[in-house]
Structure 1
Amino acid sequence: MNNKTIDGQRKQKVASETMAATDKVLGAAKQFISFVNKCPSPFHAVDEVKKLLVAAGYKELRETDPWAIQPLDKYFLTRNQSTIIAFAVGGNFKPGNGFSIVGAHTDSPCLKVKPKSKTNKSGYAMVGVECYGGGIWHTWFDRDLTVGGRVLVKNNGSIEHHLVHIQKPILRVPHIAIHLMRDHNEKFGPNKESQVCPVLATSVQLELQGNKQEDDKKPEGQEKQCDKHQPALVKLICDELNISPDQMMDFELCVADTQPAAIGGALDEFIFAPRLDNLLNAYTAVEALIETDGSLKSDPNIRLICLFDNEEVGSQSAQGAASTLQELVLRRLSSGGSQTAFEEAIPKSYMISADQAHAVHPNYSDKHETNHQAGLHKGIVLKFNSNQRYATTAITTTILREIALKSGCPLQDFVVRNDSPCGSTIGPIMSAKLGIPTIDIGAPQLSMHSIREMCCTSSVSQAICLYKGFFEKYPEVFSSLKF
């Protein structure tokens, strides 16, 4: 065999391996996109995670029931139907052993329908909304919008929890014409109360179709829940759930873009999607937990994913990371050993706080610290902040770098400029509350907190790779620490 033949075979092998890797990356990205498109609200995200877990053999627990946890058990529990904790018990676990945790969040900045949302202005039937979180609100203008969330339904004396997602554009927040606001391109900061209000219908069309708008308010205490909202919106929800308006006890609805997430870019290398922050890490965490079932038998730890609601508004809720939920779960999982089993477990544990990171922006590169410009495709980002806006330390960094090295997962570093504000995550909250060694990381993205965000297809498979490596290799790396 001559050298040209050998070179040709090598090139063919490299090309084949490259194509297989590309197919794997795109396959993982497309599965994630399918997940995002089903999740217009945290309630839908938790429901989709539950479906993945149940299909993998996980069983549901309730906080109100007694638990009897054994090695190799796989369970999950929810709170408020918007936060979910799932765990797999290592075959060699005993109370006092550590916990391997990936934490993320299920919520994203959005518009939420107000408790009394019926608004009529200038011949338009409109829906009053609240601005939830730190969204880039001008990006919500001129988008084809819908609603998704949960509805509490009274049914034969029982109160049931139902999900709803209207699968068509029903709302729009229209821009003012540039002819009427000449400085539109120089300055646009909409008033969040009066100018970010979606249009649902015209009063004329509603009356033509027999839906006369009632402007007279009923006395306080005599209003039904359905009376507080536009009849056209109530009808859409009731038709979707096949219920009557009188059955609708209450709801929590998120306004969402109807444009589906998609693979984009000339080379199919980007993901254009809503809610990348932080459904990307919620999804990849559950996928990693499920995909590492085969190595559970020899694990001395319990592997957990903790996906919290309300991170975007500070986590101060019963279902947020600042609640006692995670501590109570870990304490219950430590029961059955010594009186100090929980306290013994904490220093043996490790938590990854997984939230999206800022990729360097090509049009605003001066906003990024010169030596810490995270790039797309270059790996998951380690976040550092000496003022403790991130929980990363030299020890937690060293541990994850070793895990990443053993798993073949690329990493990159990020720190904000000294003259720039720094966001935060559940990492500092959880590490301060429980004392668990914690690191803040995330996949790089652009357009964070816009209605449409952007990341690279590589991030999905890279995140799954890293979280799988963490679940499988953390106990080994922890045992190598000599301090």
Structure 2
Amino acid sequence: MAAIARLPLTHSLPTILNHTRLLPQRRLSFPTYLNRSPFRSFSAVSSGSDSNASIVGDLLDYLNESWTQFHATAEAKRQLLAAGFHLLSENEDWNLKPGGRYFFTRNMSCLVAFAVGDKYVPGNGFHAIAAHTDSPCLKLKPKSASSKSGYLMVNVQTYGGGLWHTWFDRDLSVAGRAIVRASDGNFVHRLVKVKRPLLRVPTLAIHLDRTVNSEGFKPNLETQLVPLLATKQDETSAESKDKNVSPFSKDAHHPLLMQILSDDLECKPEDIVSLELNICDTQPSCLGGANNEFIFSGRLDNLASSFCALRALIDSCASSESLSTEHGIRMIALFDNEEVGSDSCQGAGAPTMFQAMRRIVSSLGNAQVTECTFDRAIRKSFLVSADMAHGVHPNFADKHEENHRPQLHKGLVIKHNANQRYATSGITSFLFKEVAKLHGLPIQDFVVRNDMGCGSTIGPILASGVGIRTVDCGIAQLSMHSVREICGTDDIDIAYRHFKAFYRSFSSVDRKLTVDD
């Protein structure tokens, strides 16, 4: 019954009983975190802790908090502030000092954080990990209100390359960002998350689609992937609510939806002047598998990487001695819009990270900065592009090249592609593997088959931006871009330890390599 007490109160008794059946019935030889409830209610993260046993549970908290890229960035911001990082503004001058820890956000969906070594001198390099905060999802159209056959429907856009058939028959809701008119007449950004099931995209009964199992489920994404909100209200009821609707949303969004959003935001419907909403699955992220060795969740791609990078940076700087011998600058960059090409103000295609690097070098260098100081810093820098990897699927093993089949629980996957879809080179792969070897961590390699297309990451975008050495890597997973994905608990712990080892050991590893250019 102790496990039941830790479940969110929004779950009914049958749901709670179903989840408690996932708990192990015998003592396991797994870390202690696997004896917890399959999913945890949100709790504060102990940022300075080096306890590996807590990392998976803390990831579940992070996933359950981070329904959207906005919420993921807000939670990262909260953790950084709790760990003693100072919030900067891109609109103001920076006064940085060795030993300092700083961060800034852009668009509420992109974040750059960094810690300056006590022994830093101008021209020393950056040790950075980059990931992304967005995931394939459905987003509300600017005019979302429609009705069909007596139902209120919500029109959506597809964002990224999702497995859209997995979004049917799921308990869905909305979350994202709103701009709200304050009592003083100013406008403020607010996060909104309606936690209860609100929407659903029902499938057609097999009696009305007899060939679906033989010919496949191929929905029209414009006309058939439309969530159902409610049964249609009578005109009198609808008109009575219209008078409280903001002019921006009149005839754009259903008054019923606007009322629900205003209740969550604790404002009047007419005070909501702009919305940027994702459709989200309400099922919590949780442990799964007979031994609780899996994580079942949406948005693992790429919040699992973002979280491991965030925690590795925080924990690598947690003790007073951790930066005392550091000559470089430790950094993370979490970008939005990777799933649609990164070409946005808040995406990796923008110069956000490199502009920040220039400002850091300039602020720390004072009179010592010369024309080539930043260029020398980049030559000494190293970037880890962290994005989830394709684990070998037991039912489709032939989709992988036979000598490069990453497995769950076997460590980070280094991604290689001769056509530069990934930024890994022989040198960057070697250096990242040396860090793993130094700390006894497993590592894997991935190459796509020659007869299959290859995805890409932010790695090549950032590597080509200023010529920074880059390795592409990721945590192996299954069901990538599904509404519910799968990864291994051990790999979360390994990724976290590998990233933390990278921050603490890369400088010494890099000094051992002599490259004659």
What TM-score do the two structures reach when normalised by structure 1?
0.92
The alpha-carbon distance between structure 1 residues 227 and 69, as it changes in their structure 2 partners (threshold 3 A), is: same
- Aligned mates of 2:156, 2:420 — CA distance in 1: 34
Q: Give the alignment partner of residue 223 of structure 2, picking from 194, 198, 210.
A: 194
Q: Give CA deviations for 1:431-480 in whole Å, capped at 9, x if unaligned.
A: 01120000000000000000000011112111110100100111111111
Q: Give the alignment partner of residue 286 of structure 1, picking from 302, 310, 313.
A: 310
1:153 aligns with 2:169: no
Shift of residue 282 of structure 1?
A: 0.5
Greater shift, 77-86 or 182-191, is seen at: 182-191
Cross-structure match for 1:328: 355
1:124 aligns with 2:151: yes
Q: Give the alignment partner of residue 248 of structure 1, picking from 272, 291, 308.
A: 272
Q: Give CA deviations for 1:16-65 in whole Å, capped at 9, x if unaligned.
A: 99656977666321110111011110000000000110010011101000
1:88 aligns with 2:115: yes
Amino acid at match of 2:324: K
CA contact (8 A) 1:287 1:464 kept: yes
Q: Give CA deviations for 1:219-268 in whole Å, capped at 9, x if unaligned.
A: xxx94335410111100100111111221110111101010011000011
Greater shift, 185-194 or 466-475, is seen at: 185-194
Cross-structure match for 1:181: 209
Q: Give CA deviations for 1:404-445 in whole Å, capped at 9, x if unaligned.
A: 111222100111100111100000000011200000000000
The alpha-carbon distance between structure 1 residues 20 and 258, as it changes in their structure 2 partners (threshold 3 A), is: closer
CA contact (8 A) 2:138 2:278 kept: yes
Residue correspondences, number: 462
Q: Give CA deviations for 1:148-175 in whole Å, capped at 9, x if unaligned.
A: 1010111122110100000100000010
Structure 1 segment 21-40 matched on structure 2, within 5 A:
27-40=54-67
Cross-structure match for 2:422: 390
1:62 aligns with 2:86: no
Report SS of the residue matched to 2:207.
Answer: coil
Q: Give CA deviations for 1:169-201 in whole Å, capped at 9, x if unaligned.
A: 000001011111111112211111111100000
Cross-structure match for 1:301: 328
Runs of 4+ in 1 over 4 A off after TM superposition: 15-26, 212-215
Cross-structure match for 1:168: 196
Greater shift, 21-30 or 335-344, is seen at: 21-30
1:344 aligns with 2:344: no
The alpha-carbon distance between structure 1 residues 395 and 59, as it changes in their structure 2 partners (threshold 3 A), is: same
C-alpha RMSD of the superposition = 2.0
- Aligned mates of 1:94, 1:413 — CA distance in 2: 35
Cross-structure match for 1:407: 439
The alpha-carbon distance between structure 1 residues 144 and 18, as it changes in their structure 2 partners (threshold 3 A), is: closer
In structure 2, runs of 5+ residues without a counterpart are 1-26, 36-50
Greater shift, 402-411 or 315-324, is seen at: 402-411
Shift of residue 210 of structure 1?
A: 2.9
What TM-score do the two structures reach when normalised by structure 2?
0.86
Q: Give the alignment partner of residue 260 of structure 1, picking from 284, 289, 311.
A: 284
- Aligned mates of 1:108, 1:459 — CA distance in 2: 20
CA contact (8 A) 1:41 1:149 kept: yes
Amino acid at match of 1:176: L
CA contact (8 A) 2:137 2:280 kept: yes
Cross-structure match for 2:128: 101
Report SS of the residue matched to 1:63.
Answer: coil
Cross-structure match for 1:135: 162
Cross-structure match for 2:4: none
Greater shift, 358-367 or 20-29, is seen at: 20-29
- Aligned mates of 1:436, 1:226 — CA distance in 2: 49
Cross-structure match for 1:451: 483
Q: Give the alignment partner of residue 272 of structure 1, picking from 296, 301, 304.
A: 296
1:236 aligns with 2:268: no
1:438 aligns with 2:463: no
CA contact (8 A) 2:247 2:270 kept: no
Report SS of the residue matched to 1:211.
Answer: helix
1:373 aligns with 2:414: no
Amino acid at match of 2:295: I
Amino acid at match of 2:98: P
Q: Give the alignment partner of residue 358 of structure 1, picking from 390, 395, 399.
A: 390
Identity score, percent: 47
Report SS of the residue matched to 2:410.
Answer: coil
CA contact (8 A) 2:422 2:457 kept: yes
- Aligned mates of 1:213, 1:375 — CA distance in 2: 58
Q: Give CA deviations for 1:284-316 in whole Å, capped at 9, x if unaligned.
A: 101000111132121111100000000000000
The alpha-carbon distance between structure 1 residues 248 and 21, as it changes in their structure 2 partners (threshold 3 A), is: closer
Report SS of the residue matched to 1:225.
Answer: coil
CA contact (8 A) 2:124 2:328 kept: yes
- Aligned mates of 2:467, 2:424 — CA distance in 1: 13
CA contact (8 A) 1:207 1:213 kept: no
